[in-house]
């Protein structure tokens, strides 16, 4: 399982999330407290952020998080009001290739996923692709279940005129659940997705247990930022996501809304 982080709020330096906290994303990459499989997330990493004009950027590498001095320098320079990050523990048989590293990007969307589809190549690889139009089908560059889930999300977002981040995310989970039932498999999907103006996150699983996910904000009624992470970055003010739940927050209010999903595994 990978480790994720997402932030929406007042502009901060990237290293306020990636390096400075006592249990930062970098620290989680080699000393995770709630990793269910493996010991370290050493198979690459990535970070995505938005500039002042709302344009998304990504930086990815296949080396371990702690072995990249360039990101440490970059994170002390770049500031953003919306950031997502990820450190990778590759699935069995998945190559160490930059195309398999997150975040994934499409237009203004940035997306990270933690979890897996059981026996992906033999179960939902083809059924997911069969649900995609030409654009999303050809946009897939790697082999991971994560990128196929992202492609399905993009398809859901484009297929409905009034689609929002949250509604597209829920449609994606519903489709995955239907497919998992049909092809007798299980999956877990902790996801953080943003368009720079809003952030949606989910802790969800079908037929298995979802990985850990937490959220925090500095003030309940007047927050300056909301953080979502696989593990708390500190020992204060963190709340665990219930199983099968979502968080949605917009930059104009920064007040998160937590919802339990009606459809549970």
DSSP states of 92-129 as a string? Answer: TT----GGGSSPEEETTEEEEEE--BTTGGGTTHHHHH
Which residue reads 């398809």 in tokens?
Answer: 155
Distance CA 261, CA 172 (A): 13
2 is catalytic: yes
Residues 6+ apart with CB under 8 A from 262: none
Instruction: Please state, in angstroms and as integers, the Cα–Cα distance from residue 27 to each residue in 51, 66, 79, 200, following that order.
Output: 26, 8, 20, 24
Instruction: Please state, in angstroms and as integers, the Cα–Cα distance from residue 55 to each residue in 41, 106, 222, following that order.
Output: 28, 11, 26
> Among residues 2, 41, 101, 217, which one is catalytic?
2
DSSP states of 188-231 as a string? Answer: E-EEEEE-SSEEEEEE-EESSPPPP-EEEES-SSS-SEEEEESS
The residues carrying an active-site annotation are 2
């Amino acid at each position: 399982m990978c480790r994720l982080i997402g932030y929406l709020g007042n502009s901060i330096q990237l290293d306020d999330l990636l390096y400075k906290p006592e249990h930062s994303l970098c620290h989680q990459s080699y000393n995770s407290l709630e990793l269910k499989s493996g010991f370290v997330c050493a198979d690459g990493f990535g970070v995505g952020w938005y500039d002042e004009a709302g344009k998304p950027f990504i930086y990815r590498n296949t080396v371990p998080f702690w072995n990249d001095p360039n990101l440490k320098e970059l994170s002390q320079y770049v500031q953003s009001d919306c950031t997502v990050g990820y450190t990778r523990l590759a699935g069995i048989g998945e190559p160490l290739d930059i195309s398999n590293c997150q975040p994934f990007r499409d237009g203004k969307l940035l997306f990270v996923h933690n979890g897996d589809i059981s026996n992906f190549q033999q179960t939902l690889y083809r059924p997911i692709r069969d649900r995609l139009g030409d654009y999303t089908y050809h946009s897939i560059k790697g082999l991971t279940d994560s990128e196929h889930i992202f492609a399905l999300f993009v398809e859901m977002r484009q297929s409905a005129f009034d689609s929002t981040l949250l509604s597209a995310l829920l449609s994606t989970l519903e489709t995955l659940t239907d497919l998992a039932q049909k092809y007798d498999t299980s999956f877990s999907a902790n996801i953080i997705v943003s368009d720079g103006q809003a952030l949606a996150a989910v802790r969800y699983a079908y037929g298995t247990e979802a990985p850990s996910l937490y959220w925090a904000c500095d003030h309940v009624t007047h927050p300056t930022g909301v953080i979502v992470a696989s593990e708390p970055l500190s020992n204060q003010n963190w709340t665990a996501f219930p199983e099968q739940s979502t968080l949605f927050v917009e930059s104009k209010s920064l007040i998160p809304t937590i919802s339990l999903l009606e459809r549970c595994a």
